Amino acid sequence: MPHLCLASASPRRLELLTSIDVDCDVRPVDIDETPLPGENPRDYVCRLAREKALAGATFSDLPVLGSDTAVVLDGEILGKPRDRAHALEMLSALSDTTHEVLTGVAVSGPQGLLEACVTTRVTLRAITPREAAAYWETGEPCDKAGGFGIQGRAAVFVSHIEGSHSAVVGLPLYETAELLERQGVALWMSDRAAVS
What are the catalytic residues?
A: 68
Q: How far is CA 36 from the centre of its chain?
A: 20
Backbone dihedral angles phi then psi of residue 179, each to the nearest 5 degrees: -65, -45
DSSP H or E segment with residue 103? strand 98-109
Helix (H, G, I), strand (E, B) or coil at 38: coil
Answer yes or no: are the C-beta atoms of 91 and 132 closer than 8 Å.
yes
CA distances in angstroms from 136 to 64, 82, 100, 151, 157, listed in the order given: 34, 12, 22, 15, 14
Angstrom distance (rounded) from CA 8 to CA 27:
6
The bridge status of strand 98-109 relative to strand 158-162 is: unpaired
Answer yes or no: are the C-beta atoms of 163 and 119 closer than 8 Å.
yes
Angstrom distance (rounded) from CA 177 to CA 162:
20
